[in-house]
Amino acid sequence: MIVVLTGAGISAESGVPTFRDAGGLWEGHAVADVATPEAFAANPDLVQSFYDTRRRLLADVEPNPAHYALAQLEAAYDDGLVIVTQNIDDLHERAGSQSVVHMHGQLRSALCTSCGQQSPWDGDLAPHPPCPVCGRHTLRPDVVWFGEVPYDMEYIQHALLMCDEFVSIGTSGAVYPAAGFVSFAGATGARTLEINLERSEGSDNFGESRRGPAGMLVPEWVDEVLARR
């Protein structure tokens, strides 16, 4: 089985901005000002508008060759492929991938802080719409903020234990627990490969590191995997 971890770099060529390339700013905001529960408590309208804007921008972007190559690999590879993404966009799904775990949540989902239910969501949350399940006006973006526990960690750990190959694509290796997955998988004997535009904080932990744009290197790697079957 192969586990692929993706980060903002895989969506960069689709036009989705990464986090750390713009000097730690995300669309002009410090990550801590929009991606923490404290920021949401202090300034809910700013945080809602910020994610509303990003949700609307999904309509303007398309999957790129890296997303499509992973979907092609999943369809053709019999030994199992799990994509664990830190991204909150839906580009893996739109490229055709089915086995996608969104460990940091999703823009196209809303979480009710009253009833705890997640609801598919494509509109804005800033106007405080009612929760479709309980009717209270307490929806927030269904994204995992700093200080919160990522989704599906038990499933992810099991996949990392079982995999023969772990591949990290377009992530800076700066945010845990995702940054620790390579060591976890490597300790159980999995082959480890990093594909990233440049050297990352985690590069030394990988058995192999390839530098370049994901849109070029991921299709190349997928061809290699399919050729060696």
Please give the residue ranges that form the binding site for ligand OAD (CB under 6 A): 7-9, 12-13, 18-21, 31, 35, 86, 104, 144-146, 170-172, 174-175, 196-198, 200, 213-214
CA distance 121 to 61: 18
In three-state secondary structure terms, 11 is: helix
Catalytic residue among 104, 128, 137, 158: 104
Nearer to ligand OAD, 86 or 109 (CB): 86
Q: In three state form, how does the secondary structure of 125-189 look?
A: CCCCCCCCCCCCCCEEEEECCCCCCCCCHHHHHHHHHHCCEEEEECCCCCCCCHHHHHHHHHHCC
Can 92 be counted among the known catalytic residues? no
Nearer to ligand OAD by C-beta: 72 or 172?
172
The residue among 44 and 129 lying less far from ligand OAD, judged by its C-beta, is 44
**What are the catalytic residues?**
104
